[in-house]
A and B are shown apart, each in its own frame.
Chain A
Amino acid sequence: MKPVWHDRKVVVMMGSGGVGKTTAAASMAVAAATSGVPTLVMTIDPAKRLANAMGLRGLGNAPYAISKEVAAAAGIELRAPLWALMLDVKRAFDELISRLAPTEERRRQIFQNKLYQQLSTVLVGAVEYAACEKLHELYDSGAYGLIVVDTPPSQNAQDFFDAPNRLLGFLDHEGLQWLLRPLADAEGISQRVLDFGGSMIMKALGKMAGGETLKEMLHFVNGFKGMYAGFRQRSDTIKELFHSNDVAFIAVCSTQPGQPEALGGHLEVLRRDKLPVRGVVINRVSQTSMDASTIETLMNEPTWTPEEAALLKTALGDLQNTIRSTEVILEKLRAEAAGLPRIELPELLVDAHNLRTLGQLHHAWLAAPKTNT
Chain B
Amino acid sequence: MTTHATSNKDAPRVHIVAGKGGVGKTSVAAALAINLIKRGHKVLLAEANGGDQIAALLGAPPTKGSLQAIRNNLTVVDLQPQACIREYAVMTLHIQSVVRAVLDSRAVRRLLDMIPSLGELTMLGKLWFHEQERDPNNDARPRFDHIVLDAPATGHAISMLRAPQVVAQAVPKGPLRANCVLIDELLRNGDKTRLHIVMTPEEMPVNEAVMLEQAANDVLGIKLGPAIINQSMTPLPNDIMQRLEQCQGAHHDSVFSALRKRNVRAQAGVKQIGRLPAHLHAEAICLPRIVLDTWDGVAIENLAMGLEMAIP
Contact = CB atoms under 8 A, between A and B. Distances in A.
Interface stretch (A186-194, A240-248, A347-355): A347-355
B111 interface: yes
B239 to A, nearest CB: 8
A37 to B, nearest CB: 27
B113 A124 contact: yes
B261 interface: yes
A289 interface: yes
Interface string B158-189: 01000100110111111111000000000000
B306 interface: no
A125 B53 CA distance: 22
Interface in A39-92: 45-47, 49, 52
Interface in B210-257: 211, 233-234, 236-237, 240, 243-244, 247, 249-252, 254-255, 257
Given A153-B153, A301-B247, A257 B110 contact: no
A175 B264 contact: no
Contact of A17 (B20, B203, B240, B254): B20
B144 to A, nearest CB: 25
A315 B291 contact: no
A156 B50 CA distance: 10
User: Mostly helix, strand, loop or mixed at chain A's interface?
Assistant: helix
Contact of B21 (A17, A123, A205, A293): A17
Contacts of A119: 115-117, 166-167, 170
A172 B107 CA distance: 9
B204 A52 contact: yes
Nearest to B24: A18
A291 B250 CA distance: 10
A269 interface: no
A34 interface: no
Nearest to B97: A200
Interface residues of A, number: 81
Given A118-B169, A123-B114, A179-B108, A312 B236 contact: yes
Contacts of A122: 116-117, 120, 159, 163, 166
A155 B156 CA distance: 12
B252 A205 contact: no
A373 interface: no
A96 interface: no
Of the candidates B22, B155, B170, the one having the most CB atoms from chain A within 10 angstroms of its own CB is B170
B198 to A, nearest CB: 12
Nearest to A317: B291
A205 B108 contact: yes
Contacts of B50: 155
A166 B82 CA distance: 13
A191 B295 CA distance: 60
Contact of B204 (A16, A49, A301): A49
Interface in A161-183: 166, 169-170, 172, 175-176, 178-179
A371 interface: no
Interface in A82-133: 114-115, 117-120, 122-124, 126
A208 B293 contact: no
A18 B170 contact: no
Contact of A349 (B101, B108, B268): B268
B60 interface: no
B289 interface: yes
Interface string A303-334: 11000100110111011011111001100000
Nearest to A258: B295
Interface string A279-301: 00000000011110111011001
Nearest to B233: A318
Nearest to A120: B116
A355 B226 CA distance: 34
Contact of B173 (A179, A210, A301): A210
A213 interface: yes
Contacts of A322: 291
Nearest to B244: A298
Contacts of A216: 170-172
Nearest to B166: A118
Given A16-B22, A213-B174, A316 B259 contact: yes
A211 interface: yes
B51 interface: yes
A319 B175 CA distance: 57
Contacts of B117: 119, 122
A1 interface: no
B92 A208 contact: yes
Nearest to A286: B261
Given A314-B234, A324-B293, 10 more contacts: A18-B23, A115-B170, A119-B167, A175-B107, A217-B111, A257-B295, A257-B299, A290-B258, A311-B240, A350-B268
Interface of A: 16-19, 45-47, 49, 52, 114-115, 117-120, 122-124, 126, 152-153, 155-156, 166, 169-170, 172, 175-176, 178-179, 200-201, 204-205, 207-213, 215-217, 220-221, 256-258, 288-291, 293-295, 297-298, 301, 303-304, 308, 311-312, 314-316, 318-319, 321-325, 328-329, 349-351, 353
Q: What are the nearest 8 A-B pairs in CB distance?
A: A18-B22, A17-B21, A210-B174, A46-B155, A212-B172, A170-B114, A321-B291, A257-B295
Interface of B: 20-23, 50-51, 53, 88-89, 92-93, 98-99, 101-102, 105-108, 110-111, 113-117, 119-120, 153-156, 159, 163, 166-167, 169-177, 202-204, 207-208, 211, 233-234, 236-237, 240, 243-244, 247, 249-252, 254-255, 257-259, 261-262, 264-265, 268, 289, 291-295, 299
13 contacts: A46-B154, A118-B167, A119-B117, A123-B116, A124-B114, A124-B119, A166-B113, A209-B115, A257-B293, A298-B249, A325-B293, A350-B268, A353-B204
